A and B are shown apart, each in its own frame.
Chain A
Amino acid sequence: MSKQSTTVKLSSDFETVLADSSSQVASFDTNEKSLMMKFQHFLHSSPAMVPLIVLIMSIIFFGALVGGKFFSAFALTLILQQVAITGIVGLAQTLVVLTAGIDLSVGAIMVLSSVIMGQFTMRYGIPAPVSILCGIGFGGLMGALNGFLVAKIKLPPFIVTLGTWQIYSATVYIYGNNETIRSQDIEAASPLFQLLGHSFRIGSAVFTYGVVLLLIMAAVLWYILSKTAWGRHVYAVGDDPEAAKLAGVSVTKMLISVYLFAGVICGIAGWALIGRVGSISPQSGQFANIESITAVVIGGTSLFGGRGSILGTIFGAMTVGVFALGLRLWGTDPQWTFLTVGVLIISAVAVDQWIRKVAG
Chain B
Amino acid sequence: MKKTIVSAALGALALGVVFSAPAQAADVSACLITKTESNPFFVKMKEGATAKAQELGVTLKAYAGKAEGDNESQVAAIETCIADGAKGILLVATDTKAIVPTVKKARDAGLVVIALDTQLDPPESADATFATDNFLAGTLIGKWAAGTLGDKAKDAKIGLLDINASQPSVDVQRDQGFLTGFGIDVKDVKKNGDEDDPRIVGNEYSNASEEGARTAVENLLQKDSDLNVVYTINEPAAAGAYEALKAVGKEKDVLIVSVDGGCPGVKNVAEGVIGATSQQYPLMMAALGVEAIKKFADTGELPKPTEGKNFFDTGVSLVTDKPVAGVESIDTKTGTDKCWG
Residues of A within 8 A of B (CB): 69-70, 75, 78, 81-82, 173, 178-180, 182-184, 197, 199, 206, 208, 276-279, 281-286, 325, 328-329, 331, 333-335
Q: For the complex formed, measure the closest distance between the CB of A116 and the CB atoms of chain B, giving whole angstroms.
A: 16
Contacts A75-B222, A184-B271, A277-B243; is A173 near B38 (CB within 8 Å)? yes
Q: For the complex formed, measure the closest distance between the CB of A289 and the CB atoms of chain B, giving whole angstroms.
A: 13
Query: What CA separation (Å) do A333 and B248 show in the bound complex?
Result: 26
Given the complex, which residues of A lie within 8 Å of B36, measured CB to CB?
A: 283
Determine whether B5 belongs to the interface, using a CB cutoff of 8 Å to chain A. no
Determine whether B84 belongs to the interface, using a CB cutoff of 8 Å to chain A. no
**Cβ–Cβ contact A276 & B211, under 8 A:** yes
**Cβ–Cβ contact A284 & B222, under 8 A:** no
Query: What CA separation (Å) do A283 and B235 show in the bound complex?
Result: 14
Q: Which of A180, A184, A208, A277 has a CB less than 8 Å from the CB of B38?
A: A180
Determine whether B147 belongs to the interface, using a CB cutoff of 8 Å to chain A. no
**Cβ–Cβ contact A183 & B243, under 8 A:** yes
Determine whether B260 belongs to the interface, using a CB cutoff of 8 Å to chain A. no
| For the complex of A and B, 7 pairs with smallest distance between CB atoms | A278-B243, A283-B209, A282-B38, A284-B211, A277-B210, A178-B37, A328-B219
Query: What CA separation (Å) do A191 and B75 show in the bound complex?
Result: 43
With contacts defined as CB atoms under 8 Å apart, how many contacts are there between chain A and chain B in the complex?
95
Query: What CA separation (Å) do A82 and B243 show in the bound complex?
Result: 13
Q: A199-B247, A277-B240 are in contact. List 19 more A-B contacts (CB 8 A).
A: A173-B37, A173-B38, A180-B210, A182-B264, A184-B271, A184-B273, A277-B210, A277-B211, A278-B242, A281-B210, A283-B36, A283-B209, A283-B236, A284-B210, A286-B66, A328-B204, A328-B219, A328-B223, A329-B223
Determine whether B218 belongs to the interface, using a CB cutoff of 8 Å to chain A. yes
Residue from A78, A82, A182, A325 whose CB has the most chain B CB atoms within 10 Å: A182
Given the complex, which residues of B lie within 8 Å of A279, measured CB to CB?
A: 210, 236, 239-240, 243
**Cβ–Cβ contact B236 & A278, under 8 A:** no
Residues of B within 8 A of A (CB): 36-40, 43, 66-67, 165, 202, 204-205, 207, 209-211, 214-215, 218-219, 222-223, 236, 239-240, 242-243, 246-248, 264, 267-268, 271, 273
**Cβ–Cβ contact A281 & B247, under 8 A:** no
Given the complex, which residues of A lie within 8 Å of B243, measured CB to CB?
A: 183, 197, 277-279
Given the complex, which residues of B lie within 8 Å of A69, measured CB to CB?
A: 222-223
**Cβ–Cβ contact A325 & B222, under 8 A:** yes
Contacts A173-B38, A183-B239; is A325 near B210 (CB within 8 Å)? no
Q: For the complex formed, measure the closest distance between the CB of A336 and the CB atoms of chain B, giving whole angstroms.
A: 11
Q: For the complex formed, measure the closest distance between the CB of A169 and the CB atoms of chain B, giving whole angstroms.
A: 8
Given the complex, which residues of A lie within 8 Å of B267, measured CB to CB?
A: 182, 184
Query: What CA separation (Å) do A199 and B243 show in the bound complex?
Result: 12
Chain B residue at smallest Cβ distance from A275: B243
Given the complex, which residues of B lie within 8 Å of A82, measured CB to CB?
A: 215, 218
Q: For the complex formed, measure the closest distance between the CB of B205 and the CB atoms of chain A, giving whole angstroms.
A: 6
Q: For the complex formed, measure the closest distance between the CB of B146 and the CB atoms of chain A, giving whole angstroms.
A: 26
Residue from B202, B205, B215 whose CB has the most chain A CB atoms within 10 Å: B215
Q: For the complex formed, measure the closest distance between the CB of A212 and the CB atoms of chain B, giving whole angstroms.
A: 15
Given the complex, which residues of B lie within 8 Å of A334, measured CB to CB?
A: 165, 205
Q: For the complex formed, measure the closest distance between the CB of B69 and the CB atoms of chain A, giving whole angstroms.
A: 10
Given the complex, which residues of A lie within 8 Å of B40, measured CB to CB?
A: 179-180
A-B contact pairs, 21 of them (CB 8 A): A69-B222, A69-B223, A75-B222, A78-B222, A82-B215, A178-B38, A179-B38, A179-B40, A180-B210, A182-B239, A183-B210, A197-B243, A197-B247, A277-B211, A278-B242, A278-B246, A279-B210, A279-B243, A283-B36, A328-B219, A334-B205
Residue from A199, A277, A281, A333 whose CB has the most chain B CB atoms within 10 Å: A277
Query: What CA separation (Å) do A180 and B268 show in the bound complex?
Result: 14
